[in-house]
A and B are shown apart, each in its own frame.
Chain A
Amino acid sequence: MENILEVKNLHVSFDTYGGEVQAVRGVTFDLKKGETLAIVGESGSGKSVTTRALAKLIPSPPGRIKEGEILFEGKNLAQLSEREMQKIRGKDISTIFQDPMTSLNPTMKIGSQVMEGLLKHHKISKKEARKRTLELLDLVGLPDAEKRIDQYPHQFSGGQRQRVVIAIALACGPKILIADEPTTALDVTIQAQILELMKDIQKKVDSSIIFITHDLGVVANVADRVAVMYAGKIVEIGTADEIFYNPKHPYTWGLLGSMPTLDNEEESLVAIPGSPPDMLNPPTGDAFAARNEYAMEIDFVEQPPMFKVSDTHYAATWLLHEHAPKVEPPLAVQSRMKDNLHANVPGERKKEGDRS
């Protein structure tokens, strides 16, 4: 499949009084047409900064793209001026933000907010824009659009507001949709509706989605591919099945181990000890080493390169080096794995559709 976006060795730093905070330290990935790529990681791992850099939404100063390329339709976005960027932002690349309570303008009717992008990027009349807006509100499943279009954000519930935000993002038919924790502030039932909506819309408009979240359940639901970020780097990337059923990086093991499953009887959660490193002074070697029970001496000295597991699956851990000792992932993670090697591990998740 063809790549719509290529990010190469992206570095983003923030200059603060305390020094240079290296939020993103060499991120490389590509986004294929029509796919959903999920980026997961803890807060502070650089996942939001990475995607904001794609839309050039990093306030500068203090932030700056220090190094690297963002290739989109033959252009390097990292080099574009603000003026050129404005033509792309909202039209080709648009963003859905986390908090629907604060990302809408409380003093504007929602209709005008959806229309804004349309009027800015397309030469159409107000009347046409309004018609298109009604279609969009319909598309995102807002009932009674004719009436709702002239209402203000406070007249909508959280889930409805997020639908409006999605309508805004979709207004110009973007090629890339960046969704930054779009469901984190919502209830599970509403979250499920929004996720279904997004998948549904993706089928209809065929855009690529970058989905940021820290909820691995949501990832399993939406993602074709998954990138796991830690301390400003992608530590593992692969298809959803590869990441969930055959994870290689100890950090991914930790993330999976700290999520309880619903049908396990007695199994303790494996918490990742400690807390993420200070990005003012990122540690030498593997940034995860200090929290990693499988860390070897080399982890504290040299950063591991990306080792290839399969054509689509790469992980940055020295454990994959040919001279590394063989280690088994923690039991809680093994029980999730589905390859033949671990077929008879006790506690294998039973396949079930019988919960309802």
Chain B
Amino acid sequence: MSKEKLLEVKNLKQHFKTGRHTTVKAVDGITFDIFKGETFGLVGESGCGKSTTGRSIIRLYNATEGDVLFKGESVHGKKNKADLKTFNQKMQMIFQDPYASLNPRMTVMDIVAEGLDIHGLVKSPKERQARVFELLETVGLSKEHANRYPHEFSGGQRQRIGIARALAVEPEFIIADEPISALDVSIQAQVVNLLKDLQDRFGYTYLFIAHDLSMVKYISDRIGVMYFGKMVEIADSDELYKNPMHPYTRSLLSAIPLPDPDYERTRRRVEYDPEKDHDHSEEPVFREIKKDHWVLCTEKEFEQYKTEMK
């Protein structure tokens, strides 16, 4: 089965100037593809550049270097207004904080319909209303909610409104930046199930950014692990959990507590020390260690990882 590339990220760099001579290299040359219809999970600790990556892909930031191709077209290339508009329609974002990402002065109806208005997707107020009701039903709210304001909703419901807003313009690709981190466990499951269900029904492609690895494993087809602005490992999600190769991935996996006391009593955490755990004789490069399993490593490490492979 040949998979169609929906998004190609090529050597993306995002540097921020923080002083006259200092720059923060938030994202420092990462390359990966996202295929049509899949969920790509991006994990890493805070400050590793995973959110910046998401924001650069949707061009909330202009990339310092490198490029992002969406269906073969450059996202960061020059665009006229009309092109930009059609592009914006195809890519949408769901934000982390359901409390801060909804305008408190707008009704749910207006929040959800904003994209419809901007892109001229509805002809009459009647059609607009009908579409909003339909969207609210899709995400598990009811049409009675349309005339209320964000403060009248719980966190989980607000996140559903955020999802309805992203879906309104019929996007193909959705970036979900920690969509469940601010929610309760039981509500997290509701939202994740909703995202999965929507994907089954409409064939969306997701970039799912999170630090909760067990949830990422559950929702993603493939996972990329980031560390200090670099992608250190990419693999199918089962493969990554069974065969973590990069020492950072191993340390990250060994740190997750699981709801199982017996397992917790025997869990041993692996520490990651970049100084000790790596061969520093040459610059590490991204290498394919097994089909579709990529690791950032040097030639020597590459040989070593290969022998460790199960």
List residues of A whose CB falls within 8 A of some B CB.
Answer: 42-43, 158, 187-192, 195-196, 214-221, 223, 240-241, 244-245, 254-263, 265, 268-273, 275, 336, 338, 349, 351-353, 355-356
Per-position 1/0 for B225-256, Cβ under 8 A of A: 00000000000001001001000001111111
Per-position 1/0 for B125-169, Cβ under 8 A of A: 000000000000000000000000000001111000000000000
| Segment 247-305 of B: residues with Cβ below 8 Å from A | 250-264, 266-270, 272
Q: What is the chain A residue whose CB lies nearest that of B310?
A: A354
Q: Which of B28-36, B83-91, B114-122, B185-193 contacts A (4 or more CB under 8 A)?
A: B185-193
Q: How far is the CA of A272 from the CA of B157 in the complex (A)?
A: 14
A221 in complex: contacting residue of B45, B189, B215, B264, CB < 8 Å: B264
User: Is A268 a contact partner of B259 (Cβ separation < 8 A)?
Assistant: no
User: Is A351 a contact partner of B262 (Cβ separation < 8 A)?
Assistant: yes
Q: How many residues in B have their beta carbons less than 8 Å from beta carbons of A? A: 45
Q: What is the chain A residue whose CB lies nearest that of B190?
A: A271
B211 in complex: contacting residue of A42, A187, A255, A258, CB < 8 Å: A187
| Segment 172-187 of B: residues with Cβ below 8 Å from A | 184-187
Q: What is the chain B residue whose CB lies nearest that of A275?
A: B154
User: Is A272 a contact partner of B186 (Cβ separation < 8 A)?
Assistant: yes
Minimum CB–CB distance from A238 to chain B (whole Å) comes to 12
User: Is B217 a contact partner of A220 (Cβ separation < 8 A)?
Assistant: no
Per-position 1/0 for B105-124, Cβ under 8 A of A: 00000000000000000000
User: Is B214 a contact partner of A221 (Cβ separation < 8 A)?
Assistant: no
Shortest Cβ-Cβ A-B pairs, 6 listed:
A217-B257, A258-B189, A271-B189, A216-B259, A260-B218, A272-B186
Name, among A218, A241, A263, A271, the residue most crowded by chain B CB atoms within 10 Å (CB to CB): A271
Minimum CB–CB distance from A74 to chain B (whole Å) comes to 34
User: Is A258 a contact partner of B261 (Cβ separation < 8 A)?
Assistant: no
Q: What is the chain B residue whose CB lies nearest that of A192?
A: B255
User: Is A269 a contact partner of B192 (Cβ separation < 8 A)?
Assistant: yes
User: Is B45 a contact partner of A215 (Cβ separation < 8 A)?
Assistant: no
Residues in A with CB closer than 8 Å to B187 are 42, 271, 275
Minimum CB–CB distance from A259 to chain B (whole Å) comes to 5
Which DSSP category, helix, strand, loop or mixed, fits chain A's interface? loop
User: Is B214 a contact partner of A262 (Cβ separation < 8 A)?
Assistant: yes
User: Is B259 a contact partner of A192 (Cβ separation < 8 A)?
Assistant: no
List residues of B whose CB falls within 8 A of some A CB.
Answer: 45-46, 154-157, 184-190, 192-193, 211, 213-215, 217-218, 238, 241, 244, 250-264, 266-270, 272
- The number of residue pairs between A and B whose CB atoms lie closer than 8 Å in the complex comes to 130
Minimum CB–CB distance from A157 to chain B (whole Å) comes to 9
Residues in A with CB closer than 8 Å to B269 are 192, 196
Q: What is the chain B residue whose CB lies nearest that of A352?
A: B263
Residues in A with CB closer than 8 Å to B259 are 216-217, 219-220, 244, 256, 259, 261, 336
Minimum CB–CB distance from B6 to chain A (whole Å) comes to 24
Residues in A with CB closer than 8 Å to B257 are 191-192, 195, 215, 217-218, 220-221
User: Is B184 a contact partner of A42 (Cβ separation < 8 A)?
Assistant: yes
User: Is B193 a contact partner of A217 (Cβ separation < 8 A)?
Assistant: no
Residues in A with CB closer than 8 Å to B261 are 220, 223, 240-241, 244-245
Residues in B with CB closer than 8 Å to A275 are 154, 156-157, 187
A188 in complex: contacting residue of B157, B211, B238, CB < 8 Å: B211
User: Is A258 a contact partner of B186 (Cβ separation < 8 A)?
Assistant: yes
User: Is B255 a contact partner of A355 (Cβ separation < 8 A)?
Assistant: no
Residues in A with CB closer than 8 Å to B155 are 43
Given A221-B264, A260-B215, the answer on whether A187 and B193 have CB atoms closer than 8 Å is: no
Given A262-B214, A262-B217, A271-B189, the answer on whether A353 and B258 have CB atoms closer than 8 Å is: no
Name, among A260, A352, A356, the residue most crowded by chain B CB atoms within 10 Å (CB to CB): A260
User: Is A188 a contact partner of B252 (Cβ separation < 8 A)?
Assistant: yes
User: Is A42 a contact partner of B185 (Cβ separation < 8 A)?
Assistant: yes
A262 in complex: contacting residue of B157, B184, B258, B270, CB < 8 Å: B258
Minimum CB–CB distance from A211 to chain B (whole Å) comes to 12
User: Is B263 a contact partner of A220 (Cβ separation < 8 A)?
Assistant: yes
Minimum CB–CB distance from B39 to chain A (whole Å) comes to 14
Residues in B with CB closer than 8 Å to A356 are 250, 253-254, 268, 270
Minimum CB–CB distance from A310 to chain B (whole Å) comes to 16
User: Is B45 a contact partner of A260 (Cβ separation < 8 A)?
Assistant: no
B263 in complex: contacting residue of A218, A257, A270, A351, CB < 8 Å: A351
Given A218-B257, A219-B259, the answer on whether A188 and B185 have CB atoms closer than 8 Å is: no
User: Is B186 a contact partner of A189 (Cβ separation < 8 A)?
Assistant: no
Residues in B with CB closer than 8 Å to A257 are 189
B184 in complex: contacting residue of A43, A188, A192, A244, CB < 8 Å: A43
Residues in B with CB closer than 8 Å to A352 are 263
A258 in complex: contacting residue of B185, B252, B253, B258, CB < 8 Å: B185
Residues in A with CB closer than 8 Å to B258 are 217, 220, 261-262
Q: What is the chain B residue whose CB lies nearest that of A272?
A: B186
User: Is B188 a contact partner of A187 (Cβ separation < 8 A)?
Assistant: no
Q: What is the chain B residue whose CB lies nearest that of A336?
A: B260
Q: How far is the CA of A219 from the CA of B266 in the complex (A)?
A: 15
Residues in B with CB closer than 8 Å to A43 are 155, 184
Residues in B with CB closer than 8 Å to A42 are 184-187
User: Is B268 a contact partner of A353 (Cβ separation < 8 A)?
Assistant: yes
Residues in A with CB closer than 8 Å to B253 are 262, 355-356
Q: What is the chain B residue whose CB lies nearest that of A258?
A: B189
Q: What is the chain A residue whose CB lies nearest that of B257?
A: A217
Residues in A with CB closer than 8 Å to B46 are 158, 187
Q: How far is the CA of A259 from the CA of B192 in the complex (A)?
A: 11
Minimum CB–CB distance from B145 to chain A (whole Å) comes to 13
User: Is B238 a contact partner of A265 (Cβ separation < 8 A)?
Assistant: yes
Residues in A with CB closer than 8 Å to B190 are 271-273
B217 in complex: contacting residue of A187, A218, A254, A260, CB < 8 Å: A260
Additional 9 contacts, C-beta under 8 A, given A195-B257, A217-B258, A220-B257 = A216-B259, A244-B259, A258-B189, A265-B238, A272-B186, A272-B189, A275-B157, A349-B263, A353-B267
Residues in B with CB closer than 8 Å to A265 are 238
Minimum CB–CB distance from A46 to chain B (whole Å) comes to 14
Residues in A with CB closer than 8 Å to B214 are 217, 259-262
A269 in complex: contacting residue of B213, B218, B251, CB < 8 Å: B218
